[in-house]
Amino acid sequence: MYHFRSISLKELESINYKASFPSNQYKWISDWYSVFEKVENNTIGFQKKPLIIAAYEGEDLVAIIPLIKLIRKYCKCIKLEFVEFLGQQWSCIGHDLIIMKDLDSDFIEELLRWIKKKINYHFIFFKYVPKTSILNQKFKMYRYSGAPVIPIADFDSYEDFSLKVYAKKFRKKLSRTIRKIERDGFNLKLSYEEINDTNFEIIKEIAKSKEIDGKNYVYGDKNKENFHLKLYDNFPSHVLFAKFNETPVAYVANIECDDVRIAVDCAFDRDFRSYGVGVQCMDCNIRNSFKIGKKKFSFGVGLDAYKFQFTDRAAPFYMCFDYRYRLKSLLALPYLYYKVVKTNHQVSKQFKEIQEYV
């Protein structure tokens, strides 16, 4: 039998644990909350309160569950209370229970019983959960998203990878745009740099050109910009610039987590669209990942079409939910369940064309 207690973020900092995902690490969790604590909207949530649960078997700490309680508003006036993973609301790279010792099959049941006893809520929603999560034992899992990846360790070399994975048409595009760059008098130069105040302004300037295509760019929101800056400070990170005659025209910003490189942001200058500078920059980033011996390259969460020029597989992420028998829960349930089923259908359809990487 397990017992549970709430702990503070400060207490979490003092615990030495290994997380399955960067977004489960203390520094990510702490940075996220420090930036978004006062942000109030229906995506991030209102009246947020960290709910870090420590699980014990006897005196042994066996699991940590980093949650948050928040409120969302529906029809402008109906307030619903949610319990979720802390950080799943925006910019995560996977979430799960942090398991420190083997757990019995009844662990999730006991955890939910404790949450129901100690916390008032209408819904529990766990998102960006891996296929292998222990949550599978209790919840019905619905497809939610995915993270396109290149399992570098599975290939002999970059050349082996590109021949097996890149479509012939895409390989020709890479060669054709290189010739066009040279023919038009540009010298393509690649530059790996530590992210600093000066080149961060260049990153923002290039990213802003996404607005030409009607897209949002992450640095258009001051809070999201601050979070990315903390990310770059607290994880090994760098930016790869593709430059034309010393002028940056595309970039990929990476963080390094053990043997995995994660591309957390990328963009290209739309004035140079015809030169394929975005794909050239990403391809060079992948090539370098092979060269320095990374085991895996991740494009981050999101099944964007452009990512599948570079890979044919993705790690699937799921979601699951539960609710209490309260009036507001029962009124909101049909709408929220419709959204769950709709997302599951859309993502399942996408995965029909994608190899699952687990």
**What does pLDDT average to in each consecutive run of 10 residues of the chain (358 residues)?**
96 95 96 97 97 97 98 91 98 95 95 97 98 95 98 97 97 96 95 95 96 92 96 96 96 95 97 96 98 97 96 98 96 96 98 94
Going by C-alpha positions, the residue among 146, 150, 173 that lies closest to residue 304 is 146
Q: What is the pLDDT of residue 321?
A: 98
Q: What is the pLDDT of residue 276?
A: 96
Q: Is domain 152-294 in CATH 3.40.630.30, yes or no?
A: yes
Q: What is the pLDDT of residue 253?
A: 98
User: Which residues touch 149 (CB under 8 Å, ≥6 apart)?
Assistant: 296, 297, 298, 299, 311, 313, 314, 315, 357
Q: What is the pLDDT of residue 354?
A: 95
Query: Which amino acid would we find at residue 117?
Result: K
What does the alpha-carbon distance between residue 328 and residue 338 come to, in Å, rounded to a whole number? 16
Q: What is the pLDDT of residue 170?
A: 97
CATH number of the 3-146+315-356 domain: 3.40.630
What does the alpha-carbon distance between residue 240 and residue 194 come to, in Å, rounded to a whole number? 9
Domain boundaries, the chain: 3-146+315-356, 152-294
- Using DSSP bridges, classify how beta strands 296-298 and 142-150 pair: parallel, antiparallel or unpaired: antiparallel
For 228, counting Cβ atoms within 10 Å of its Cβ (0-12 exposed, 13-18 middle, 19+ buried), the class is: buried
What does the alpha-carbon distance between residue 347 and residue 319 come to, in Å, rounded to a whole number? 12
Q: What is the pLDDT of residue 75?
A: 83
